């Protein structure tokens, strides 16, 4: 790591660690010794997010934090201020010193985590990947994520429903982190569904739409200027959920737009009719599942299942955006909304797992 990255990691650790020895509540496990003989309050796990300023990471960290509160365990939740792979690696290497019972990690730079994850596992610290898979060489054998090609196709369906049947024209795709498998898979799902349903469309990209909010705005502004006659602009990431509607308003254009993930401005744009909608990969649930698996392993309740845990996704449009806005109002509202999905998914853990490939 560079000295700058070390400083950023240390600063982020000091400012963003949300470690709490949480008291048990109505959803906490019953009193009495766990099968492992350890009390929940003595379990120490962590969740390392990719960026404190982006919705997908915020949602996963919130889900991880709630899992600790619900089960009565000590959960440390941390992320660098913005996307910074080296700083995130630094945070990961620091938390494994205290989070002896396991670490969940979501990163936009999986190539940087191969050796650090392998080192953690060699020290006896379990690691579970959330959203983005780590290389096989890392030794991480569990991924909690969603079917990204299918989620991309779902977003394409929402856009196709707004276009006249057989409409000819251009659709422009953007990927904020080119090469990141989950985002490329979303773009692939979009493109295949668009062309399968309407071969008259010309689908361009995916272009590099940049990950930071400011850079994403500049990238999409340039793409809109270059393709001003396009029918729609679609992105596989978070910042475009608010940047594309903003550009649409600024230009007075009539094209369609849609993106991924949740943020207040993006949800408001759906309500206002500036956006077709967003695909919600339900990141809160990923953080919750990842962290609960680590806690339950430490309590001796179950071994961490190997493979791919498909946590699901849903489309947010004008028809259901009010419900999702209400869900996002508080940690309690999120937990209540997700309860049915949590219970369904943990009812048959073995049957839920798919091959990691």
Residue 238's domain is classified under what CATH number?
Answer: 3.40.50.2300
Distance CA 4, CA 8 (A): 6
In a domain, 324, yes or no: no
What kind and span of H or E run contains 257?
strand 256-260
Indicate if 32 and 116 belong to the same structural domain: yes
57 CA to centre of own chain: 6
Indicate if 25 and 64 belong to the same structural domain: yes
Helix (H, G, I), strand (E, B) or coil at 305: coil
Indicate if 24 and 95 belong to the same structural domain: yes
Indicate if 31 and 106 belong to the same structural domain: yes
pLDDT at position 34: 60
Indicate if 217 and 288 belong to the same structural domain: no
Distance CA 47, CA 127 (A): 10
> Which residue stretches of the chain have pLDDT < 70?
1-34, 36
Structural domain span for residue 17: 3-146+283-312+330-354
Indicate if 7 and 61 belong to the same structural domain: yes
Buried-exposed string 97-113: b where 16+ CB fall within 10 A, e elsewhere: eebbbbbbbbbbbbebb
Distance CA 306, CA 300 (A): 16
Indicate if 34 and 125 belong to the same structural domain: yes
Indicate if 138 and 160 belong to the same structural domain: no
pLDDT at position 140: 98
Q: Kindly report, residue by residue over 130-168, the tens digit of the pLDDT.
A: 999 999 999 999 999 999 999 999 999 999 999 998 899
Indicate if 124 and 171 belong to the same structural domain: no
Indicate if 57 and 129 belong to the same structural domain: yes
Give how many domains the chain has, as a whole number: 2
In a domain, 229, yes or no: yes
pLDDT at position 241: 96
Indicate if 275 and 295 belong to the same structural domain: no
Q: Of how many residues is the chain composed?
A: 357
pLDDT at position 31: 37
Beta pairing, strands 20-21 & 74-78: antiparallel
**Cα dist from 246 to 171, 207, 240, 266, 297, whole Å:** 18, 19, 9, 9, 45
């Amino acid at each position: 790591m560079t000295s700058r990255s070390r400083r950023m990691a240390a600063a982020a650790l000091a400012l963003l660690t949300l470690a709490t020895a949480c008291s048990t509540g109505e959803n906490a496990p019953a009193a009495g010794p766990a099968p492992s003989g350890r009390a929940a309050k003595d379990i120490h796990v962590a969740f390392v997010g990719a960026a404190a300023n982006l919705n997908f990471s915020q949602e996963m960290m919130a889900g991880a934090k709630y899992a600790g509160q619900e089960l009565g365990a000590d959960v440390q939740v941390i992320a660098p201020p913005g996307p910074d792979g080296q700083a995130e690696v630094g945070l990961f290497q620091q938390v494994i010193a205290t989070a002896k019972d396991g670490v969940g990690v979501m990163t936009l730079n999986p190539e940087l985590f191969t050796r650090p994850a392998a080192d953690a596992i060699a020290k006896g610290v379990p690691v579970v990947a959330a959203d983005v898979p780590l290389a096989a060489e890392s030794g991480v054998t569990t991924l909690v994520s969603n079917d990204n090609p299918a989620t991309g196709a779902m977003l394409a369906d929402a856009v196709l429903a707004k276009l006249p049947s057989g409409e000819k024209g251009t659709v422009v795709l953007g990927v904020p982190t080119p090469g990141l498998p989950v985002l490329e898979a979303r773009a692939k799902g979009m493109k295949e569904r668009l062309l399968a349903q309407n071969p008259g469309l010309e689908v361009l990209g995916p272009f590099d739409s940049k990950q930071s909010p400011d850079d994403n705005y500049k990238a999409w502004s340039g793409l809109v200027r270059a393709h001003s006659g396009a029918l729609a602009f679609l992105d596989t990431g978070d910042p475009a959920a608010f940047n594309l509607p903003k550009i649409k308003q600024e230009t007075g254009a009539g094209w369609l737009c849609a993106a991924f993930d949740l943020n207040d401005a993006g949800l408001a744009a759906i309500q206002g009719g500036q956006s077709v909608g967003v695909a919600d990969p339900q990141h809160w649930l990923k953080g919750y599942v990842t962290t609960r698996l680590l806690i339950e392993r430490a309590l001796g309740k179950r071994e961490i299942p190997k493979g791919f845990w498909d946590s699901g996704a849903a489309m947010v449009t004008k028809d259901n955006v009010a419900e999702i806005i209400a869900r996002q109002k508080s940690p309690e509202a999120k937990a209540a909304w997700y309860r049915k999905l949590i219970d369904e998914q943990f009812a048959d853990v073995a049957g839920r797992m798919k091959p990691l490939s």
